[in-house]
Amino acid sequence: MPLLHTTPRLSGPHALVLPALLVAAGLNTAHAQVPAKCLEIESILVDACTAQCPGAAEGSNEMVRFITGPSPLSLNDLVVDWPNNFFNGFVQDATTASLVAQLNNSILSCGHLLEPPGGLIPAGRRVLLITSTDMCVPANSFANLADTLYAVFQFPGNSAGHFANHNNGSLISPTPVGTSSTRTLTITHVPSNCTDTATYDRAELVNIYGTYGGTSAENDGATARFTWPGVPQVTYVNFGCQAPIVPLEVEISGGGTLACGGSTVLSAAISGQGQVSWSGGSGTFSAPDSTTTVYTAGAGDNGAVTLYCCLLDPCLDQVCDSVVLQVSGGPQAMITSDGPLVLCTGQQLELTASGGTEYLWSTGDTAAVITVAQPGTFSVIATNACGSDTAEVTVTQPPPPVAAIDGVLSFCAGGSTVLTASGGNSFLWNTGDTTASITVTAAGIYNVTVSDGCGTADAQVEVVIEELQITAIADPPSGTAPLTVFFTASASAPVAGWSWDFGQGPQPGPDAQSYLFPAPGSYPVVVSATGTNGCTGSLTLVVEVLPDGPSSVIVPNIFSPNGDGVNDLFTVISTGLAELDMAIFNRWGQQVATLDRPDRAWTGRTFAAEMVPDGTYFYVLKARGTDGRDHDLRGTITVVR
């Protein structure tokens, strides 16, 4: 026989106060879905937590949640067949009242726990069966309870577990590794011989990570949940150290594809107590506050349409699920053009709308095709029997191209520079190049034509080569040994530094130098300079040092006035001359130059400063030495460049 242990608690008018208040608050009401049979088991907290109460037994803290059917049930009429323990009967006394009060004080949400008045559970109510009054109140949290549950307690005495925890070992695995091992719980209403049974598999119990196996702490909270009506389908969850309270859940079934204006049946499976509401789309719901409704697509539904079902609990917490319908037959506006969406000055563009049977453009036109000659954003509303849709395009008008050339416009002889054109997307240089950048190595005018879709433009720059030309004088250019020569140099541009090479390698120095040549010989002297612009130049002078003795004259027979700094000047090599007169003639007998002193030089130019052509020239030389000796010489000079 079922056992109910009771102790009188409330009497008189106060015994009716709490139930009345709960009814007024909407808390002591039957659930919308009530089982057809006497009761249905909904969940089992198999692996209860005890960490908050050291020494507490897990078997005193396990819980079962079930819901009563269409008739009230007396605790005296219920018998529980535990998988792993015997049934001690139910108790309802001052201890259970104290436990319910403590549990209610721990609730942070808007839920509430009641005890069955007089041991009688009303019809259509959810019930939480706790395996002992020796339970640890804080061990399995009731903080999130958002429903009204009836709490019933088994008489204490069973400290061993009533169920069997997982058998997957201490190592965590993504799949069960334990052997399948089922456990069955049965609750029977004796007078009606009505029974509900719930069976779970130990190997399928999940840990707090949603996987399998692990430490005891990692498996605390393992719960089996059962569906009803019909054959119970079991699922396995783990919310940690929390009582098996009813979670707020919504899951939509139905939907799919429907034609414009068509209808479809939608159903929502819910858990928890609250207000159902459907929303979304532009159509209508036949029952917007029912778990089952018919949705009829509206004129604005086209393509993917998302619908929502939400459940608002008494705590004003809300959960929602969504379903996507594919609605066909509605307009799908589209705009195409007969060219790029770019208008150059004076151009026109055709825009064509499609996807509907009627059109209304932002310009006011109602034809499918319009012609535009100005930039802007153009939209169209496409309409058919199922509704309307909108599309838009933006037409731009770029400014005309403006050509520009960037780069360094000067460089030293032998160098180069890079010129880069901009302002278009195609390029044509006067060099024939068609790239945006070119490398130039010669001075001159460089121009480029840039083009884009709306025209062309030109730009040009002048590139110059910066040469550093050196001029130098040796005074005297020749003489007898030992000979001291004074050198003076200048340049065609500002100089950052000079160097002189008298045969021992270049050495830095000023633009004026003196040097002692102690022995006879022909000595090349190289003067070099670096300009402030980084360019360099050099010049070679030749100093002739003659032996000390009688006067002498040596006339070179060839020189090359080509400006390369080597043998550019024609000079008479002499020693001890007091006077010199030398006339130079071309082959037609015309005098082209004269030297009137021993230190004079011929540059290869005429009296008019024009360069003489290459060839053979004739000279007549008369000189007198300091020793009184006369020198009369005739001969030829070859000019070669």
Render pLDDT for 475-530 as a digit per residue (tens, 0 to 9).
Answer: 998 877 788 999 999 998 999 999 999 999 999 999 999 999 888 888 999 999 99
Looking at every residue in the chain, the average pLDDT score rounds to: 89
Contact 96, 151 (CB under 8 A): yes
Contact 415, 394 (CB under 8 A): no
Within-domain flag for 474: yes
- pLDDT score of 21 more than 70: no
**pLDDT, mean of residues 164-181:** 96
Distance CA 101, CA 113 (A): 8
- Please report the pLDDT score of residue 268 as a whole number: 92
- 77 & 171 share domain: yes
- pLDDT score of 616 more than 70: yes
Query: pLDDT band at 25, cuts 50/70/90?
Result: very low
- Partners of 546 in beta bridges: 480
- The CATH number that applies at residue 586 is 2.60.40.2550
* DSSP conformation letters of 274-302: -EEEEEESSSEESSTTSSEEEEE--TT--
Question: What is the domain range of residue 85?
Answer: 4-238
Within-domain flag for 243: no
Within-domain flag for 607: yes
- 33 & 128 share domain: yes
- Please report the pLDDT score of residue 27 as a whole number: 39
- Please report the pLDDT score of residue 261 as a whole number: 78
- Please report the pLDDT score of residue 346 as a whole number: 84
- pLDDT score of 414 more than 60: yes
Render pLDDT for 415-455 as a digit per residue (tens, 0 to 9).
Answer: 899 999 999 889 999 999 999 999 999 999 999 999 987 88
- Please report the pLDDT score of residue 513 as a whole number: 92
Distance CA 154, CA 88 (A): 6
Render pLDDT for 154-164 as a digit per residue (tens, 0 to 9).
Answer: 999 998 999 99
Q: How far is CA 445 from the centre of its chain?
A: 46
- Please report the pLDDT score of residue 528 as a whole number: 95
- 451 & 588 share domain: no
Indicate the number of domains in the chain. 6
Domain boundary among 529, 548, 567: 548
Within-domain flag for 244: no
Q: Collapsing DSSP states into helix, strand and coil, what is residue 325?
A: strand
Within-domain flag for 366: yes
CA atoms within 13 A on the CB side of 271: 18
Is the Cα dihedral 4, 10, 15, 19 positive or negative?
negative
- Please report the pLDDT score of residue 550 as a whole number: 81
- 183 & 117 share domain: yes
**pLDDT, mean of residues 596-622:** 94
Query: pLDDT band at 168, cuts 50/70/90?
Result: very high
- Partners of 388 in beta bridges: 383
- Please report the pLDDT score of residue 19 as a whole number: 34
- The CATH number that applies at residue 518 is 2.60.40.10
Domain boundary among 186, 206, 238: 238
- 64 & 148 share domain: yes
Query: pLDDT band at 26, cuts 50/70/90?
Result: very low
* Candidate ranges 384-393, 462-471, 542-551; pick with highest mean pLDDT: 462-471
- Please report the pLDDT score of residue 575 as a whole number: 81
- 459 & 474 share domain: no
- Please report the pLDDT score of residue 533 as a whole number: 87
Contact 320, 310 (CB under 8 A): yes
- Please report the pLDDT score of residue 152 as a whole number: 98
Render pLDDT for 331-373 as a digit per residue (tens, 0 to 9).
Answer: 889 999 999 998 888 889 999 999 888 999 999 999 999 999 9
Query: pLDDT band at 32, cuts 50/70/90?
Result: low
Q: Collapsing DSSP states into helix, strand and coil, what is residue 564?
A: coil
- pLDDT score of 300 more than 80: no
- 503 & 586 share domain: no
Within-domain flag for 364: yes
Within-domain flag for 526: yes
- 482 & 615 share domain: no
- 594 & 558 share domain: yes
- 511 & 635 share domain: no
- pLDDT score of 52 more than 80: yes
- 374 & 409 share domain: no
- Please report the pLDDT score of residue 270 as a whole number: 83
Domain boundary among 517, 548, 579: 548
- Please report the pLDDT score of residue 31 as a whole number: 56
- Please report the pLDDT score of residue 627 as a whole number: 74
Query: pLDDT band at 23, cuts 50/70/90?
Result: very low
* DSSP conformation letters of 63-107: EEEEEE-SS-EEGGGEEEE-SSS----EEESHHHHHHHHHHHHH-
Within-domain flag for 12: yes
- Please report the pLDDT score of residue 20 as a whole number: 33
**pLDDT, mean of residues 300-316:** 87
- Please report the pLDDT score of residue 433 as a whole number: 96
Greater model confidence, 575 or 200? 200
- Please report the pLDDT score of residue 7 as a whole number: 33
> DSSP letter at 547?
P
* DSSP conformation letters of 170-235: SS-BSS--SPP-EEEEEEEETTTTEEEEEEEEGGG---TTSSB---HHHHTTEEEEE--SSS--EE
Distance CA 319, CA 460 (A): 71
Work out the percent of the chain whose per-residue pLDDT is above 70. Answer: 94
- pLDDT score of 13 more than 50: no
- 522 & 631 share domain: no
Q: Which of 537, 528, 523 is nearest to 485 (CA)?
A: 523
Helix (H) or strand (E) holding 392: strand 387-395
